[in-house]
Amino acid sequence: MSKLQAIYLKDYKKPEFSIKDVELVFDLYEEETIVTNIMNIKKESDSAKEIVLDSIDLELKELWLNDVKLGESHYSYVDEKLTISDVPAAFRLKIINKIYPQNNTELEGLYKSGSIFCTQNEPEGFRRITPYLDRPDVMSVFRTTVIADRKKYPILLSNGNKTQCHDSFDERHGVTWFDPHPKPSYLFALVAGDLGSVNDEFTTASGEHVELNIYCDLGNESKCSHAMKSLKEAMTWDEEKYGREYDLEIYNIVAVDSFNMGAMENKGLNIFNSHYVLADEDTASDMNFMGIQSVIAHEYFHNWTGNRITCRDWFQLTLKEGLTVFRDQSFSADLNSREVQRIEDVKGLRERQFVEDASPTAHPIQPESYISMNNFYTSTVYEKGAEVIRMIHTLLGEENYRKATDLYFESFDGQAVTTNDFLWAMGEASKVNGEAREDALGYGIDLSAFELWYHQSGTPKIHVQEDYYNNTFTLSLTQKVPNAVDGSEQKPYFFPLKIALIDEDGNDILEKTLIVSKETEEFVFDDINTKPTLSVNRDFSAPIIIEQDDNDYSFLMKHDKNSFVRYESAQSFAVETLEAIMNGEEIDEEFVAAFGYLLDLDVDLSYKALLLELPTISTLMQRQKVIDFEPIYEAKEKLAKYLATTYKEKLLTLYTTNHKPLNQDIDSLSMGERALKNRSLRLLSALESDEIIDLVSKQYSSSLTMTDRVVALDILENITELLSEMALSDFYSKYRDDTLVMNKYFSTLSASEREGTLERVIALQDDEVYDEKVPNLVRSLIGVFARNYKHFHAKDGNGYKFLADKIIEIDTINPQMASGLCAAFKIYEKLNETNRMMMKGELERVVSTQSLSKNVYEIVSKILKIN
């Protein structure tokens, strides 16, 4: 089957043709859209005779080469390729074709979200609009005219600056846009609709004036202000931190309800999932506000890391994504709490990336092959990619990192490049007179050793041994690097490991960033006069798993000055305690005492809320050789109940002092208060007492923030059937017309641990509000259910069967959505026998489905190890 052929990085060849400029005209109608595409094409290789354009499901109307109409003998259209024979050295190609955006449920190319025409072209959607050299290393200047019904589509947008309005076509009208920056086709965008907007402006550091617009469905304008504020913050930050200014007269953002991913950085015309734009105090949670700030910034930052400098081919995806995630994480850390941001980033990495990295779908941040590129927008490419950039930042130091990024922008602006080009810039800037620099850390930095992070998969484990004798502290490290998915051996990594030695009062005796580069290493510290406690992988300086023989978590929980290691120690101690419970042991009172100490701590409230969080099911699961969820649930329940009983008064005090139901502010103190008192409430809810249930109900009915209401709803749903039904129906009647809020309704029900969850999820599919064509709704109902370990992994196998059915069904509508849902099957191999056999049956059923998409095929066949 040709469509299942893998594409390999090693087969990369330069394009044989370049496209100097493109002129596009879109005639949008309800039944069809007519695209006229005029390209000025140049041969780049003498041997090229024919040009092969990418083209999927297009109805060709006319082809013209230099004003000569081509007959069918001059071209062929097979297997998603339009081949035109005997083309000259330079020529003008005009193509007229028809598409049907109103029937496009894949949401790739030109499609309709409700009544709005919009596009999504990364990575390979443009070939569903018009025939093209649809690859990122073909960069061209685009002029686009959009014509549509004046009443239905008053707003017509594309990339770049607006150059002309065409008002003369009676009930239809048109607008022409011109983008002077050459760009690959994946950054092309078009929007047409009857949209509301908020408008603002920004003046760049060099005095250029930029018009800022955020478009949304009419009536939602008041929900755009947080996004606008975030955009301006991002623009200022990029000027200050990276010296990068915006480069067009207009920056447009459009929010749409049907979108496969979070958002897209199209040049001058970002298209966003409305989830990452719309928010107000009544309908959005604190987490939503934070998410908007970071995604708005992420897409803005792509203007330099992605658009001005783009990827040579899709294997280089981390070049733009790893770097841009690192940039948005740094931005959020600068604007909010650095310590909380770092912990949240690491939590995310471990929950998603570590799981992926331990599965048969593990891949390097720069993969070597793919079947469907859509499957490689992974947490490995994004989040691990960001960790790799962070390590470079640590190795170079702030000042040299800035020199290095300046050099990167200077050297490659306007080009499509590789991760090696990026590493070259990083290495150059760290040299003095052409030699590896003796840097501030005291090590010469050779980034070539660092390159392995781009080409190997799996999370390395670092075994740590300590020895203290005669005032000398010796640290011995052993790296265990897992084999690649194909069984081949992999080499030890080069990474920075930030450590400290702490005295008995909790003060740092020393803090140092060690460079680890070999399988075994020994670091000796002299003149250490008292036996120190080791604080290791401070700030999570490398994305590794630490295994320690000796540890004093209780001491570090209390005394470590590094906020990350302090958090980490609390987590590790809780994990140890929970695992002991799972082994039938008593609850460790030393942990309980240390937890009590945390309750009294006077630290940032959001940080404190994190310190008090018990390890997630996923954290515990990842440590099991053979996964079984029940013992994990039981142990967690037992420990939570014990802590809640022991510290009931303290928790209640934390709750009442921080519960301010009328406060809707989203400054960091207000968010911190909510985070902490909701953490306390969740812990208290383990008591399932009337007193606590009463508190929760009151919070639901009296609080003005969505954060508080969703927490209350979730607790009620899990502990009291009656009250939960009342609260849920109240919530439903209030918000049924707001699809973003309804996502919270669906996910609360799908995540429920109560009996009968699967039955309720099945029934909810018939709810008027639910729509299988809208990815956000599918993610909140089906996607969340697949992460509900209790019910998804139920021993009757019904959870698996349900998900498999949904994957098969949704695959016919939207393959990208369907393959996303397969993530829940990635732990297949590590499951206990009963669950594994049941899951196997379902996976086999999926993979043998007729006309399965290559997206789903690629993931499921990897999980099952079918070659």
Please report, as ranges, the residues that interact with Zn ion according to CB under 5 A: 321, 324
Contact 17, 89 (CB under 8 A): no
Given the complex with ligand PHE, which of 238 and 339 has the nearer CB atom? 238
Q: Select 112 or 790, whichever has its Cβ closest to ligand PHE.
A: 112
CA distance 639 to 445: 46
Would you report the helix, strand and coil content of the chain in percent, each value rounded to 5? 45, 25, 30
When the beta carbons of 271 and 824 are compared against ligand PHE, the nearer one is 271
377 binds, among Zn ion, ligand PHE, none (CB under 5 to 8 A by kind): ligand PHE
Residue nearest to ligand PHE (CB): 261
Other CB atoms within 10 Å distance of the CB of residue 204? 15
Least spacing, CB of residue 122 vs ligand PHE, in Å: 4
User: Which residues, listed in sequence order, are joined to residue 82 by a DSSP beta bridge?
Assistant: 53, 77
Q: How far is the CB of 394 from Zn ion (least distance, A)?
A: 22
Choose from Zn ion, ligand PHE, none: what does 769 bind? Cβ within 5-8 Å by kind: none
Among Zn ion, ligand PHE, none, what does residue 263 contact (CB within 5–8 Å per kind)?
ligand PHE
Residue 588's φ and ψ, nearest 5 degrees, are: -70, 115
| Closer to ligand PHE by Cβ: residue 708 or 811 | 811
Q: Half-sphere exposure (CA, 13 Å, Cβ side) for 340?
A: 23
Least separation in angstroms between residue 120's CB and ligand PHE is: 5
Residue 264 contact among Zn ion, ligand PHE, none, beta carbon within 5 to 8 Å by kind = ligand PHE
The listed partner (ligand PHE, Zn ion, none) that binds 192, CB under 5 to 8 Å by sort, is: none
> What tokens were used for 728?
């849920």
Task: Output the smallest distance, CB 408 to Zn ion, in A.
Answer: 17
Task: Pick the closer one to Zn ion by CB: 382 or 785.
Answer: 382
Q: How far is the CB of 379 from Zn ion (least distance, A)?
A: 12
What region, left, alpha or beta, does residue 794 occupy, with left being phi > 0 and alpha being psi -120 to 50 degrees? Answer: beta
Among ligand PHE, Zn ion, none, partner that 122 touches (CB below 5 to 8 angstroms by kind): ligand PHE
Q: Minimal CA–CA distance to 694: which of 707, 684, 704?
A: 684
Q: Using N-to-C axis directions, what is the helix angle for 648-658 and 629-646, rounded to 10°?
A: 80
Sheet of 81-84, strands arranged across: 51-54, 81-84, 75-78
The entry of ligand PHE, Zn ion, none that residue 120 binds, CB within 5 to 8 Å by partner kind: ligand PHE
The nearest distance, CB 302 to Zn ion, in angstroms, is: 6
DSSP SS3 for 163: strand
Place of tokens 């409305």: 274
- DSSP one-letter string for 523-547: EEE----S--EEEESGGG-SS-EEE
User: In this structure, which amino acid lies at residue 1?
Assistant: M
Query: Which of 15/262 has CB closer to ligand PHE?
Result: 262
328: tokens are 């948005």
CB 366 within 8 A of CB 455: yes
Residue 23: strand, helix, or coil:
strand
Give the Å distances, CA to CA, from 609 to 423, 565, 707, 734: 38, 15, 14, 30
Report how far residue 73's alpha carbon sits from residue 359's, in angstroms, rounded to the nearest whole number.
49
**Helix count and strand count (H, E) for the chain:** 31, 33
Query: CA-to-CA distance for 95 and 57, rounded, in angstroms?
Result: 15
Surface-to-core class of residue 865, CB atoms within 10 Å of its CB (0-12 exposed, 13-18 middle, 19+ buried): exposed
Q: Residue 299 or residue 842: which is nearer to ligand PHE going by CB? A: 299
- Which residues contact ligand PHE by CB under 6 A? 120, 122, 260-261, 263-265, 298-299, 321, 377
Task: Return the number of the residue (302 or 608) whose C-beta is nearest Zn ion.
Answer: 302
Q: Which does 357 bind (CB under 5 to 8 A by kind): Zn ion, ligand PHE, none?
A: none
**Smallest distance, Å, CB 673 to Zn ion?**
32
Instruction: Tell the smallest beta-carbon distance from residue 300 to Zn ion (Å).
Output: 11
> Which of the residues 299, 387, 568, 673 is marked catalytic?
299
Neighbours of 151 (CB within 10 A): 10
Whether 568 is a known active-site residue: answer no
Nearest partner of 65 among 78, 83, 47, 44, judged by Cα: 83
Residues annotated catalytic, as ranges: 299
